[in-house]
Structure 1
Amino acid sequence: MRDEILVPGVELLESMRSVGYSFESAVADIIDNSIAAGAKRIQVLADSVKASYIAFLDDGAGMSPEEARHALKLAGTSGSERDSKDLGRFGLGLKTASLSQCRRLTVVSVQDGSLTALQWDLDYVLSTGNWSIRVLDPADLPEIPHADELASLKTGTLVVWQALDYLLAGAPDPSLEVSERLMSLRHHIGLVFQRFMEGRAAIRIEVNGVAVNNVDPFLEGSSKTQIGPREAVVIDGYVVTVEPFTLPHPSALSARERKRQDLGAAMREHQGFYVYRNRRLISHGGWFGLAKLDELTKQARVRVDIPPELDQQWQLDIKKSRVEPPQAFRSRFRQIIEHVTGGSKRLHQFRGRASVRSDAVYLWRAIEERGGYRYTINREHPMISGLEAQLPLEKRKLLDQTLNDLATYFPAPDLYVRMADNQPRIEIDSTQSELRDRLRAIRDAGGSLADPEAILPALRRVEPFNNVVDLQSLVAQVWKENI
């Protein structure tokens, strides 16, 4: 038996481009490297006029000539050699992320007064048939966008994408395409690196000179966010922390919050687990197939922090955009899902009621029958029964038909669409004058309803009187008018 070395053809570089990076995930992979290098300011700089390049400039530790060459090797660093605080895993991110969007990748780095400039050019590699990187001279640097800005730093790294074939993909207006990509990119960066952009050691990330705001998916700063107990689960000696959140009802969100991509019309798609690795968001949204996305559970989100030592068990992919929980977690996750989604459902079912009581009397009733449901108007409500008592028999039939029509043609489909779109429902509170008019109608209905002492306990359970602060005084005033 003998060994035989099979050298892959240069066409492998073209194949590597189809790993499946989105533009946002590719950018995040480059930012990972800047954070790992200790950068405090990271700039994403794009040519939004000619769409000729996208560049990344940081003030991190930079790389020596040897480190720069190592970084441009395929799988330049294995998982076992990486620091536990590193955001990478396979040593492929810089190359695969960049080449998934462009045909020419340039890396320029400064460290200890030494500047190194290297370039992968797919067209050059394919034309020569060799795995050759270009080593740029100082005379080549003026052709590299923002190389002059890097030269003003003591340490730092510049990554430049050019020949943006996959990114633009035949867009009719390349400049407009780049501008639109940058708009959604800001939210993605703010969400993925939120925890690095907070606190004393906050990192500043900019997109074309505009600072990116961190995006808290759990709205922890809101007093109306419900936070469940944090739980620690140990796997192979390593701790995974899990913390559930129930976001405020859409009507309690500010106008600015409702404009957020993950809190507006798409809130339903953003429910589920948010998995972090070394504080960096890896995967968000969805329940790993353990539950379905539901309209009533769209407020439910669960933060999961996993250590890098469990990458393999969680099946972390190259793009750092997908994980799959190990089997040991799945049964516990089902229990967590049931708990946190239950809170979200209650948030919708009892929205706006001061207290939830099984003996409360509401204007509407939900009737379940034959595997479905329908709504009907509660004829036992004092306002309804009082009105019916005052009408002659021939008018009661008209009232009965009107109430049936109101229940039958309740605009449930339209309501569902508006709720799914997170449109805030405008709640109109009854004025004192309107409440008095309603109480007068109940009083004048006569019978058992005419006794204020008898009617008061019932009114406390009835909409809209169940939310009146000083109901007893109001009833006394209205009944005193009759005297």
Structure 2
Amino acid sequence: MADGWKFDVPTTGSKHLPPDPRYMEALTSQGYGFEAAIADLVDNSIDAGAKDVVIHFLRDGDRLISLLVIDDGCGMTEGELDVAMTVGGRRQYRDGALGMFGTGLKSASLSHAAAVTVVSRTRTSRPVGRRWVMERAKAGFQCDIVEPAYAQSLTDRYNGNPILWQGTVIRWDGVKDFPRNGGSEQTERYLSRVINSLSMHLGLQLHRYLAREDFNITIAVEDIATGTVVMDFGVLPMDPFGYPVSGAAEYPRTFKLELPSVGIARLNAHIWPPKSSLPQFRAIGSLQNTQGFYLYRNDRLVQAGGWNNYRQAEQHLALARVAVELPPQASDVFRLTVKKDGVEVSPEFIAAVDHAVDDEGVTFAQYMTVADRTYREARKRAGVERKPVIPPGKGIEPAVREAISEELPYLIGEEPITVQWRNLEGEIFFDIDREGRAILLNQRYRSAILGGRRGGLNDAPMIKSLLYLMLHEVFQRERAGSRERDTLALWQSVLVAAARAEQNRLDERDPE
């Protein structure tokens, strides 16, 4: 049977099968997050040799209208722009380039905008522009040619001297994520949230570039009605290995992996100092998610944390972070996602990690042991041997549940404690359902606690978190003693008074 099996399949010729225009819709449905999409555009700017990149939100009063990414890179001629706007357009990537697939500009942009316009000029060519409108793209890959006068005006807008200016402007219109008819308050909340998230994402993914003196990313907001720049600040590097003192004196260490397919790879293994308050330790995600491998391709972070099936994340490995430099060429050992937000590794890599050693003969397995021990000993020195608890469940914000899991060990096999709003008799603030494993909050106080805002499953995270911390031990006992009953009565009295005060404030703010 084996001799009769052939890898080559006999054929009688071939035929050209161009993609259906609906392929454009599939291309833009790859799950690009907003921050990842912007980062993909910045990658193109870096490949173009840009020194400055500006991410520019344009608003007209209360309404956000467009988002632009402007760079001072080498720009593109008309022919180069046509290639860049072609789906899968073939172009030669230089050594060290961040681009790979030829789809990022189109798929990232049209995942989040109804139309993307690109205007560019080189030092020796006039401004040229192309525009993809999603509806026209789906109908037949029809790409619009931008009027030369508009292309000139857009480049002039971002430069005081158009004769010397070179670079590229990418403009998104019909941005799906922008708030609709929400007024000034909603727009301000959106900008505050998304700019903070974008700044953190770019600061992390591109921290090695931002640490250089000749590269900057600026995020700005302009009100076009008045011409006023209402926000303008630089993105700071967020180095996931930027601790001042190592958590273990003998680290970092560099371990060598022998990979037959790609040669020697290196693991630069670090141990963070315990209980660090630096933002690059905690702000980039939960400690369960940020331990593990940090994979870089050409100095660009393409995966932040995770063990890639090498092992499971554990609380006691929270201090372990390992930088891995990927080979610049694509390989079967490391398969980068199109969005550059993760890497699939082959079994060859996992097997090699188990045999990795440094120049002194220390093994990677010994590193993992030291990282585990450093975390445990830090807890002991602080006198912290926390008892296992029943885990929190539905009704508590997932981010809060993650924080609790990092701080407290869980009792194995126990049903979690949920927090629910219910119509409770009387004016009590909360009740305890032991059999149902639930903390019940009185629905009559919900509007006051939420300040009149609409509620949801995980609303009121502060009050729910505090109640969980106050009450979780109650569920570990069969019945309450007299001291516990007195404590519960005290909490009821104080919380009811606080809820009434919140209700009075709400009534004064919104009188009928």
Q: TM exceeds 0.5?
A: yes
Secondary structure of 1:230's counterpart equals: strand
Matched residue type, 2:301: L
Residue of 379, 386, 389 corresponding to 1:413: 389
1:344–1:59 distance in 2 versus 1, CA, 3 Å: same
Could you tell me which residue of structure 2 aligns to residue 317 of structure 1?
337
Secondary structure of 2:199's counterpart equals: helix
Does the CA-based 8 Å contact 2:240-2:281 persist in structure 1?
Answer: no
* More relative contact order, 1 or 2 (CA 8 Å, 6+ apart): 1
What is the alpha-carbon distance in structure 1 between the residues aligned to residue 341 and residue 402 of structure 2? Answer: 30
Are residue 57 (structure 1) and residue 86 (structure 2) matched?
Answer: no
Residue of 274, 293, 299 corresponding to 1:249: 274
What is the alpha-carbon distance in structure 2 between the residues aligned to residue 178 and residue 363 of structure 1? Answer: 43
Moved more, 411-420 or 336-345: 411-420
Secondary structure of 2:345's counterpart equals: coil
Q: What is the CA distance between 1:148 and its match in structure 2?
A: 1.0
Matched residue type, 1:324: E
Matched residue type, 1:222: V
RMSD of the alignment, in Å?
Answer: 3.2
Residue of 284, 288, 305 corresponding to 2:304: 284
1:83–1:141 distance in 2 versus 1, CA, 3 Å: closer
Could you tell me which residue of structure 2 aligns to residue 268 of structure 1?
288
Does the CA-based 8 Å contact 2:332-2:346 persist in structure 1?
Answer: no
What is the alpha-carbon distance in structure 1 between the residues aligned to residue 379 and residue 306 of structure 2? Answer: 28
What is the alpha-carbon distance in structure 2 between the residues aligned to residue 319 and residue 363 of structure 1? Answer: 44
What is the alpha-carbon distance in structure 2 between the residues aligned to residue 231 and residue 113 of structure 1? Answer: 49
Secondary structure of 2:35's counterpart equals: helix
Secondary structure of 2:294's counterpart equals: strand
Secondary structure of 2:150's counterpart equals: helix
Could you tell me which residue of structure 2 aligns to residue 176 of structure 1?
189
What is the alpha-carbon distance in structure 2 between the residues aligned to residue 23 and residue 335 of structure 1? Answer: 39
Secondary structure of 2:120's counterpart equals: strand
Size of the alignment, in residue pairs? 360
What is the alpha-carbon distance in structure 1 between the residues aligned to residue 81 and residue 336 of structure 2? Answer: 25
Aligned-pair identity in percent equals 25
1:413–1:214 distance in 2 versus 1, CA, 3 Å: same
Does the CA-based 8 Å contact 1:106-1:118 persist in structure 2?
Answer: yes
Alignment of 1:37-436 (within 5 A): 37-47=48-58, 49-77=62-90, 81-111=92-122, 112-126=124-138, 129-141=139-151, 148-150=157-159, 152=162, 154-165=165-176, 167-168=177-178, 173=186, 176-200=189-213, 202-208=214-220, 209-224=232-247, 227-235=251-259, 236=261, 238-250=263-275, 253-254=276-277, 256-257=278-279, 260-262=282-284, 266-334=286-354, 338-351=365-378, 411-413=387-389, 420=405
1:349–1:107 distance in 2 versus 1, CA, 3 Å: same
Are residue 36 (structure 1) and residue 47 (structure 2) matched?
Answer: yes
Secondary structure of 1:51's counterpart equals: strand
Q: Which has the larger radius of gyration?
A: 1
Q: What is the CA distance between 1:234 and its match in structure 2?
A: 4.7
Deviations 1:48-70 (A, max 9, x none): 65222221111111111110111
Deviations 1:430-463 (A, max 9, x none): xxxxxxxxxxxxxxxxxxxxxxxxxxxxxxxxxx
Q: What is the CA distance between 1:223 and its match in structure 2?
A: 4.8
Does the CA-based 8 Å contact 2:246-2:271 persist in structure 1?
Answer: no
Does the CA-based 8 Å contact 1:238-1:307 persist in structure 2?
Answer: no
What is the alpha-carbon distance in structure 2 between the residues aligned to residue 50 and residue 171 of structure 1? Answer: 7
Deviations 1:171-206 (A, max 9, x none): 964663343122111111011111112244x41111
Does the CA-based 8 Å contact 1:219-1:247 persist in structure 2?
Answer: no
Structure 1 residue ranges without an equivalent (≥5): 355-361, 365-374, 376-409, 424-483
1:86–1:205 distance in 2 versus 1, CA, 3 Å: same
1:334–1:233 distance in 2 versus 1, CA, 3 Å: closer
> Which is richer in helix?
1
Secondary structure of 2:64's counterpart equals: coil
1:178–1:141 distance in 2 versus 1, CA, 3 Å: farther
Does the CA-based 8 Å contact 1:301-1:340 persist in structure 2?
Answer: no
Q: What is the CA distance between 1:41 and its match in structure 2?
A: 0.7
Q: What is the CA distance between 1:10 and its match in structure 2?
A: 2.2
What is the alpha-carbon distance in structure 2 between the residues aligned to residue 46 and residue 124 of structure 1? Answer: 25
What is the alpha-carbon distance in structure 2 between the residues aligned to residue 291 and residue 268 of structure 1? Answer: 12
Q: What is the CA distance between 1:123 and its match in structure 2?
A: 2.4
Q: What is the CA distance between 1:421 and its match in structure 2?
A: 5.2
Matched residue type, 1:179: S
Secondary structure of 1:309's counterpart equals: coil
